[in-house]
A and B are shown apart, each in its own frame.
Chain A
Amino acid sequence: MTETRTRWRDRAGSAAQKLSQGYALVVIIAFAASLAVGLLILAALGVSPWRALGVMIGGAFGSRMAIGDTLVFMTPRLMTALAALIAIRCGFYNLGAEGQLQLGAVGAVLPATMLPHSLGLLLLPISLISGAIFGALWGLIPAVLKLWRGANEIIVTLMMNFIGIYFVKYLVEGPLQPAGSNFNMSAKVATGAMLPLILPGTRLHLGAVIAVVVAALLWVLLYHSTFGIRLRAAGLSPRAARLQGMPLSRLILSSMLISGAIAGLGGAIEVLGVQYRLIEGFSADFGFDGLAVALLGGLEPLGAVIVALYFGAINSGTIALQSVLSIPSAMAMIMSGLPILFLASIQGYRLVKGRR
């Protein structure tokens, strides 16, 4: 099993490696190809693709409100992407951002609805931190299970996603449902815990800024700290890192703590900035979208910001598509999934051809 474990880690490492080389062109091709397929689908649905493209761009960037929406849709996906990124860069395939985000939302809503409202604006940092802690603890579980039992993290994190989702469902149908309510949601969070809106006339909240700041901090951590060097070394080659005397277990544990905390913070932001309640299904598969964002962004914080912005635009654009041209907004998911398919295929092909 040790042998297999090392191989898994090597694979994650080499994934990070191969993504960084000659990468920008491949990503551009992947996006162009998926855009072409998307336009073909729209044509098949009987809409002029150019008209549709115009509507989408208008819906994503055409007005102040559109830009606000795009950034609101970007935020959770950027957070889960950053969470996925730091774990994968350490060689730990964390597919559990969805679950950590769900737990983060729980962690935020507990203080935000239960602590006395008299705490005022103090409630906001308390709730955000509590969300991050919940996410971090949830993220720690797969790391511990891997180090202690050798349980492959891919399966563990996938299972824990659904445990998290159903845990939220349980909470909002039971313990957190206000007495006398029939809706599957928690009580509204206290005003002091809400993230302030930052662009008048839009839904844009402070969370978007937090997400970008976290991305910048992560970049500093990865490239300008000893911890970051060790973390990347462990991801690229665990064996070499071990021979250098690096504390592999501790690196994995801390990268998963950070990863979980970021995803948890993302969940907290979604609750305190957009929904103001814990609602079943508040996450539109943010976890998996974030993974796609992280991989498309080359596992780099800056790349993640750019791709997350694109994903945000796709989501606000397809909403305009739905209201103007009655195209189902499921197009957003198609447009989010396609680039990854192209990217992985092209990268695989490059691997076969030995151009890595």
Chain B
Amino acid sequence: MLFDPITISLLLAAAVRLSAPMLLASLGELVSERAGVLNIGLEGLMLFGAFGAVLGLQESNDPLIGLLSGALWGLGAAAILALAVALLRADQIVIGIGFNILALGATSLLRQVALNPSYNAPSLRAVSLYRIPVLYHWPIVGRAFFMQSPVFYGAVLLAILLGLMLKYTRLGLIIRAVGEGAGAADAAGVSVTVVRFGAMAFTGLCAGLGGGYLTIVASGGVFVDNMTAGRGYLAVAVVIFSRWRPIWILAASILFGCADALQYQGQAIGLSIPPPLLLMSPFVLALVAWVLMGKGKTGPGEIGLPFLRGQK
């Protein structure tokens, strides 16, 4: 019973399905970090996205507009954060902590003021399931990788494109230069402020979409207070111990998706790990991975530091 192909395939499918919010948020964070911004506010950005998506869904009855609204809420919130970090050079860690407290309160307040608790979501199938013809018949992995939300396919595509963009394009070079040595980039005529602002805005867009996916695709259009439950912080860690590589970020996201999936399906496959330990496991894994990779330096050199012209 435990290891028959059908259960494995279902479990894998759920893991992949639940990996998308983490994947999207991490990809957004990747760009920020490459530009030298350690964006702890990711957790709050996801929360705003999750709320914004449900608001959009309730207003329009269209899940696609819901997701779009989530992404835009993430973008809007990130713009405020970026204003403080990129333009005013606020301490990135300090502002991130304040922003996350604010986000938790603001989304909870907005939920009580603006959302209808007895709202019946329409069919969310349009955004939650698309079978890729032929491929989805594959045994075991077909269901997992080719019968997913279009958003997931988009996220995988984004991971590939981001990897190529950062490595091979001029824009990627500029972003990395700003993260590696903002002073040199500035001297070469690149506006550090604009690049960091843009990177953080992109992070907001991705995190918002990730949050929206969490509410609309993964929880049937319901927003619950603090529903990201640390996923944003986890995504920050994922980016770092994946060593800023999109492929590893994808792999780590799916691995953490497994922990999420086991929480729901563990009982079904006769696994008797208490749910809190499953909830804990991604954080333990992240910690262990983080400690194991301890030494070595491939990351952006000036991550976390504000750029001040004329100072080293």
Contact = CB atoms under 8 A, between A and B. Distances in A.
Contacts of B225: 330
Contact of A344 (B94, B109, B275, B286): B94
A253 B71 CA distance: 43
A328 B230 CA distance: 23
Nearest to B280: A166
A88 B98 CA distance: 16
B237 A155 contact: yes
Contacts, number: 180
Chain B contact residues: helix, strand, loop or mixed: helix
B88 A348 contact: yes
* Among A7, A161, A348, A351, residue most surrounded by chain B Cβ atoms (within 10 Å): A348
A328 B113 contact: yes
A114 interface: no
Contacts of B240: 152, 155
Interface residues of B, number: 56
B294 interface: yes
The number of chain A residues touching the other chain, given as a range, is: 35 or more
A347 B90 contact: yes
B237 A158 contact: yes
B84 A1 contact: no
B305 interface: yes
Interface stretch (B99-107, B149-157, B208-216): B99-107
B283 A341 contact: no
By Cβ-Cβ distance, the 4 closest A-B pairs, closest first, are A333-B105, A340-B98, A337-B102, A149-B294
Interface of A: 1, 3-4, 7-8, 11, 15, 41, 45, 93, 95, 145, 149-152, 154-156, 158-163, 166-167, 169-170, 173-174, 285, 288-289, 291-292, 295, 328, 330-341, 343-349, 351-352
Given A155-B236, A167-B276, A341-B98, 14 more contacts: A4-B297, A15-B94, A145-B294, A159-B286, A162-B280, A162-B283, A163-B280, A174-B276, A288-B97, A328-B112, A340-B98, A344-B91, A344-B95, A351-B308
Interface of B: 38, 40, 83-85, 88-91, 93-95, 97-106, 108-109, 112-113, 225, 229-230, 233-234, 236-237, 240, 274-277, 279-280, 283-284, 286-287, 290-291, 294-297, 299, 301, 304-306, 308
